[in-house]
Every structure is written in structure tokens, then in C-alpha cells.
Amino acid sequence: MEIEFWWLLALPLFFALGWLAARIDIKQVVHESRALPRSYLSGLNFLLNEQQDKAIDAFIEAVKIDPHTIELHFALGSLFRRRGETDRAIRMHQNLVDREDLSEDQRLQALGELGQDFLKAGLLDRAESVFVKLRGTRLNDLALRYLLEIYQQEKDWAKAIDIARALPDHESVLWRTEVANFHCELATAALADSRLEEARAQVDAAHALNPRCVRASLILGDVLAAEGEDEAALEAWKRIENQNPVYLALVAERIMEAYRRLGRVEQGHVLLRSWLERHASLDLLDEVFQWELDSRGARPAYDLVREELRRNPTLLGLDKLLEAALISAPAEQRGDIELVRQLIHGHTRKVARYRCDACGFKARQFHWRCPACGGWETYPPRRTEEFDLAP
């Protein structure tokens, strides 16, 4: 392959152009770095070292030196909000919104930050007003997600449903789970006010979105029971076994009450015993144990728990066993049994809690929505011991 003569002339030229471009870039960087206030660079250094207090002081000083640093105002406002100083964050972002020299994109960004400040401060009405203004802009999706969070905090489920339908991922599994629970919240409120037709309509809407919605089946059974249709209510509750058997403990008491009204208590007990054998659950064991204790006495209740302990050894089960043993034990043995039971009971208080699968938050009461992270159906109705101690 022969080398053209003009290539030899072009190579030095290319090197010269590259060297010149690099020099220009370096000069530009040096010029910009010198133009920045020294306190700005100090603030960045403190921020990288996770010294937020010193970083904020440095950034405030930089803003005083050069009030036109828009991005620095945004950074400083975000730092205030993360530290919980929402008043200062609000003032910082409100000043940006009121400035006349901002571009449209910067003004929208400032509004978005201001809305988040209001939300962090608990000023839901003002946050809602800001995010409503952002609908239809380039921050529309951000506004929708924060509006959804606001309406959930306000328990305005009708508005939450409307906003959820406008979200871009409104066909996802998570979306269906959330919106089905919004309908269930409306159904629960309607049922509490004896608006049974409205409650049933909301349950139907929840099932249409999520056919495996356990909560909708539970509420449907409640509605049917309120209408005096116990047989139909039982069918609705039994459906939960196929949807998610973990939730059967939530309907155990309802099942027994319905069978009691129908005069078929023994049939209900047999059903719960069969559920317990197929789907081990401490809460279900508690319900069956209590019924056995009240209707048949301490000895059958003791035998029930002993058999369950052999299959699934837990401290909570042992606590129930000692409770039954205490009732039927001779008087001279009750003191020792009570002492052991008190020791066991002290430990069971620590493990007799529900735990959120999403964030790990623990609570003594079951929640459909986690009080900590706001996740829906992240609390399986199983005690922490069933996760931590059971084999």
C-alpha cells in the first residue's frame, strides 16, 4: 500500500489542531473555575465529605457573593429540605419562583422543588396547588406522582383514582394493586355508612382491576353478611384461600360468626381446622384455639396446640399450650406453670408483631398500607416469629 504524499503534510496539521483545541478547553475550564466563588468550591468539598452543616454555610456565602448562581440556589434549597429545614427551603425556592430573570424551564423546576418543600412540611393544600399548576407541563409525570401521594395522605380516594388513571404506568401490577385498594377504601367507608349498593359497586371495581384482591373479597363478604346473605358471604370469604391463603386468618372470626348464625358451628370449626392443617398460621391457630377452649374445654384445646407445635414449633404456640395447661392443671402445679408462662409471654411480645416486606417496619396491628413506607399489601398477616423462628 502506497502512502500519498499529502497525508504526510496533513498529519502535522491534525496534531496542531488537536493541541489548539485542548488549550482552548483548558483555558475555558480555568477561566470558569476562577470565576466561581472560593466558598462554592469549599461547599462542594464539604458536601463530598458528608459535612452538610459546613457545606450549607459555604453555599450561603457563595450566594451572597454571586446572587445570580441559579443552580446553587437549587442545590442549597434541596439541602435545606433534606435536613428538615423546610422553612428555609421554601423561602429559597419561593424567591426563585418570583425572580423575573428565570427561563421557563428553571421556573418549572423551582415550582417542582417548592411543591416538594410544602409536602415535606405537611402543607398538603399548598403542595397540591403547586403540583396542579405543573400538570400539562414537562413535569407532568412528577406532578401526578406527588398528587397521588397527597391524595392518599388526605384519604381522598376518588381523586387518587383519577390521578392514578393518568399515570404513564397505569397498567402495571403495582398500579392495579394500589388502585384496587383505593376502591376498597371507598367500599369500607360506604359499608360503615350502610350504603351497601355503593360498597358492592366499589368492590366490583376493585375485582375488575385485580381479580386476586383479597381485601375486595373480604369486604364483599362483609357486605353480603350485612344484607343477611350468610351463605353467599361464606363463599366470598372462602375464595381467599385460592387468592392468597396467608390472609385466611383475617376472616376466621367472620367465618365462625356466619356459621353460628346459620346454626352450623361444628362445620365452621372443621373448615378452620382444615385451613390450619394446610396453611400454618399463628393468628389462625389463635382463633381455632380460642374456639376449642370456649366450646370444648381446656383438654381439647391443649391437644390441638400440642399437635400444632409438633408441626410448627413457635414461642407463640408454646404460650397457648401453657395457657391451656394452666386451666386444667392441679392447683399445686399452677404456680410453676404460670411462672413459665409469664417468662414465655415476655418473649412472645417481641415477636408477636407484623412486619412490612418493603421497609421492615413492625407493628402490633395489621395494616393494609404500611404506616412507614406507604406500600399497599406489604404487610402479610403473619407474625414476625413465623419468619424468624419457625423452621
Q: Is 285 within 8 Å of 321 (Cβ atoms)?
A: no
**Residue 40 is placed in which grid cell?**
462554592
Q: What residues form DSSP beta bridges with 354?
A: 363, 383
CB within 8 A of 231, min separation 6: which ones?
A: 262
Quick one: residue 99, left, alpha or beta (phi over 0 = left, psi -120 to 50 = alpha)? beta
Q: What's the rounded Cα separation, in Å, for the pair 62 and 315?
A: 60
Kindly report the backbone phi and psi dihedral angles of residue 376, in degrees, each rounded to the nearest multiple of 5, phi listed first.
-95, 135
> How many C-beta neighbours within 10 Å does residue 106 have?
17
Kindly report the backbone phi and psi dihedral angles of residue 383, in degrees, each rounded to the nearest multiple of 5, phi listed first.
-70, 155
Q: Would you say 370 is a known binding-site residue? A: yes
Q: Would you say 213 is a known binding-site residue? A: no
> Mind giving me the DSSP string for 292-305?
HHHHT-HHHHHHHH
Q: Is 178 within 8 Å of 149 (Cβ atoms)?
A: no
Question: How far, in Å, are 6, 240, 260, 274, 353 from residue 234 at the CA level?
Answer: 92, 10, 12, 15, 28
Sign of CA dihedral 118, 119, 123, 126: positive
Q: Is 352 within 8 Å of 364 (Cβ atoms)?
A: yes
Q: What is the DSSP letter of 253?
A: H
Q: Would you say 356 is a known binding-site residue? A: yes
End-to-end Cα separation, the chain, in angstroms? 76
Q: Would you say 184 is a known binding-site residue? A: no
Q: Which amino acids are annotated as binding site for Fe cation, given as ranges? A: 356, 359, 370, 373
